[in-house]
């Protein structure tokens, strides 16, 4: 990999664009297949008994886990997700090597928009370039210079 000569933190703008590019890919390869089946009913089943739908819970959980895994697998192996690659930014461990568990921890908040927002609020409050979970996972996002 053609890494930086000088470590420069990635701008928030670049990170947001990279996130949305990845989010589009995640929607296409994970969200769509799991959601599409629910619109494939051939028969009418009249079960309006108000029971909690376990299938929805399984679908939501599967999407959340696969979403976290998407970023974790790419960042652990390439230090970049496809979105980050296009924006020329990458994940850098601040302490030793990037382990898979660190990659998972730094991406946990991506399973929910609200969690990610809270995670990002840490950047505003602390005036830092790291999300809260990035500090926990001892990672930062840098760009080439």
**Residue numbers of the site for another protein (CB under 8 A)?**
25, 29-30, 32-34, 36-38, 40, 43-47, 55, 58-59, 62, 66, 69-70, 73-74, 77-78, 82, 85
Nearer to another protein, 68 or 133 (CB): 68
Please report how close the Cβ of residue 107 comes to another protein at its closest, in angstroms.
14
Please report how close the Cβ of residue 118 comes to another protein at its closest, in angstroms.
26
Alpha-carbon distance 76 to 122, whole Å?
23
Nearer to another protein, 55 or 126 (CB): 55
Please report how close the Cβ of residue 34 comes to another protein at its closest, in angstroms.
5
What's the CA dihedral at 55, 57, 61, 67 to 10 degrees?
80
Kindly tell me the burial class for residue 36, based on how many C-beta atoms sit within 10 Å of its own C-beta (0-12, 13-18, 19 or more).
Answer: exposed
Q: What angle do CA 134, 139, 145 make, to 5 degrees?
A: 120
Please report how close the Cβ of residue 92 comes to another protein at its closest, in angstroms.
17
Nearer to another protein, 83 or 132 (CB): 83
Alpha-carbon distance 63 to 125, whole Å?
30
The structure tokens 């730094």 sit at: 106
């Amino acid at each position: 990999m053609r890494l930086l000569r000088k470590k420069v933190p990635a701008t928030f703008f670049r990170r947001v664009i990279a996130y949305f590019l990845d989010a589009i890919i995640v929607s296409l390869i994970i969200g769509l297949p799991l959601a599409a089946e629910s619109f494939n009913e051939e028969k009418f089943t009249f079960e309006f008994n108000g029971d909690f739908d376990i299938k929805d819970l399984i679908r939501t959980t599967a999407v959340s886990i696969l979403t976290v895994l998407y970023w974790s697998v790419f960042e652990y192996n390439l230090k970049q997700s496809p979105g980050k690659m296009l924006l020329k930014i990458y994940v850098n461990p601040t302490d030793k090597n990037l382990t898979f568990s660190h990659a998972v921890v730094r991406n946990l908040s991506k399973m929910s928009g609200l969690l990610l927002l809270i995670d990002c609020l840490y950047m505003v409050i602390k005036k830092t370039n790291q999300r809260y979970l990035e500090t926990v996972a001892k990672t930062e996002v840098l760009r080439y210079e």
